[in-house]
A = this chain, B = another copy of it.
Amino acid sequence: MASTDKPASPPKPEAPLPASKCPFNYSVVDVTLRVLLFAATVTSVVVMVSSKQTEVVPLPTMPTVRLPLPAKFSHSPALIYFVAALSVTGLYSIITTLASISVALTPAYSKSFLLVFAFLDVVFVGIVASATGAAGGVAYIGLKGNNHVGWNKICNAYDKFCRHVGSSVAVSLFAAILLVLLSMMSTFTLYKKIRD
């Protein structure tokens, strides 16, 4: 007779199911993208820092004299800014990955965190994009030179250096796109929460 008592029990609340499913999906994708962002920024910084190359080239001031001269990222303020910006973004990606995991475990604060993520991600889109632009602009002069003002290309002599700089800029462009996606995702999740 105890089994007949079961239908009298209150119906299961089915509404929270999709709502609780949504933040989980968001969190998984968010954490994945942030881990990817960390990997991209670390790769970019490591490739840029390890770009040093020494070659026997004519002195810029005296073209008749040939000496072993190094090319490294710290010779250009744009590339120094690039390394600094990508390093800070790497640190930011670690912090936000941990924050995103903690939000996944305690969804009560998820709306506030989504707002903070959307705000900060936009700022870092600006930082990473400007660093990519600055390094890309200088790298392009190194690759092609500029005849109008007499800036010689250096990539014919420093091939490894230029490969490293180019790869690093490409990876940082990927990092900027990841940040745009992360920011869009935070905003879209906020939007979905209104409609739910």
Contacts and interface: CB of A to CB of B under 8 A. Distances in A.
A60 interface: yes
Given A130-B132, A138-B141, A122 B191 contact: no
Interface of A: 60-61, 69, 71, 75-78, 111, 114-115, 118-119, 121-123, 125-127, 129-138, 140-142, 144, 146-152, 154, 176, 180, 183-184, 186-188, 190-191, 193-195
Contacts of A190: 187, 190-191, 194
B140 A78 contact: yes
Give the interface SS of chain A, mostly helix, strand, loop or mixed: helix
A134 B111 CA distance: 36
A160 to B, nearest CB: 15
Given A141-B141, A191-B111, A75 B149 contact: yes
Nearest to A135: B137
21 contacts: A71-B148, A75-B146, A75-B149, A78-B140, A78-B141, A114-B191, A115-B188, A119-B187, A122-B184, A122-B187, A130-B136, A130-B176, A133-B133, A133-B136, A137-B138, A138-B141, A142-B149, A149-B154, A151-B152, A186-B187, A194-B194
B180 A126 contact: yes
Contacts of A127: 129
B78 A150 contact: no
Given A125-B129, A138-B137, A151-B141, A146 B76 contact: yes
A169 B195 CA distance: 41
Given A123-B180, A140-B77, A150 B152 contact: yes
A172 to B, nearest CB: 10
